[in-house]
Amino acid sequence: MLELYNAFDSLCSQKVKLVLAEKNLEWKNHSLNLLTFENLQPSYIRLNPKGVVPTLIHDGKVVTDSAVIVRYLDKQFPHPLLTPTEPLLQEKMKSWINLQNQFPMRELMYGNYQGIEGAVLRRSVQIKQKLLPQLMQANPELKEQYEAKFNDVRQWNFSIQDANEIATINAKIEPMLAQLEEQLSQTDWLCGATYSLADAVWTAVLNRLGELKFGYLWADDTHPALKAYLSRVKARPSFRKAIQSDKMPLSMLLTGLRRIFLSI
């Protein structure tokens, strides 16, 4: 039995949802509302001490962090296998996933979303910063976890208010895409002739960059292989199942907006 604690429209959750869809696995859904801070509640912090989604539960075993979860799923459910069999290609897969993990997508997203969406997301981080000390006080047994989360959120808040830092992050996108372009002009998939976990992870990230209006970077002919790759990954049934249909229900969104704008 697989259970996934996740959030609608969460990039890290989408990576896992893609892998679950590629493997045609059934799972029990636990959608958390990040706009009402369900991820910061003590019951969830006990499950995932960093207070982030996703968290996978498999036969009672708790697995956290999307990069760890996708590897775990591939080991436990190897049909189809999404890890290359050749050691050199396995290393390549690891480095594509690491390259993605090291990129500060969180700051990029919260710093670049525009309009109401951007305002909601940035205000949610400010509220987290106010909420965490209260949660820490009310739950002294989780002091360590809440303190670590508070320090992380403070830094996060600081970064997304800093236009220079966001501009520096934005400037790193193109060189990263150039690396993908080089690989994809030689092979159909990031690790050669077959689709792998690296492709699932990058599908979610490239789709998000497109939503953030960085799609112009491959819309013209500067990254033709990347553009063709994106069409290929988006044509897979997993994309429809895991990403296109990943929309927060209106009632959940309204509850979240009320929390963000009417209370602090």
Ligand X SMILES: N[C@@H](CCC(=O)N[C@@H](CS)C(=O)NCC(=O)O)C(=O)O
The binding site for ligand X (CB under 6 A) comprises 10-12, 34, 39, 51-54, 65-67, 106, 128
Show the CA angle centred on residue 108, arms to residues 103 and 114, nearest 5°. 160
Show the CA angle centred on residue 208, arms to residues 207 and 213, nearest 5°. 100
Give the span between the Cα atoms of 27 and 242, in whole angstroms.
12
Minimum CB distance to ligand X smaller for 98 or for 185: 98
* Residue 48 beta carbon to ligand X: minimum distance, rounded to whole angstroms: 8
Minimum CB distance to ligand X smaller for 17 or for 223: 17
Minimum CB distance to ligand X smaller for 109 or for 217: 109
Beta strands in the chain (DSSP E): 2-6, 28-31, 55-58, 61-64
* Residue 128 beta carbon to ligand X: minimum distance, rounded to whole angstroms: 6
* Residue 200 beta carbon to ligand X: minimum distance, rounded to whole angstroms: 13
* Residue 65 beta carbon to ligand X: minimum distance, rounded to whole angstroms: 4
Do residues 53 and 63 lie in contact, with contact meaning Cβ atoms separated by under 8 Å?
no
Minimum CB distance to ligand X smaller for 13 or for 196: 13
Minimum CB distance to ligand X smaller for 109 or for 226: 109
Give the span between the Cα atoms of 216 and 48, in whole angstroms.
36
Give the span between the Cα atoms of 37 and 51, in whole angstroms.
9
* Residue 180 beta carbon to ligand X: minimum distance, rounded to whole angstroms: 19
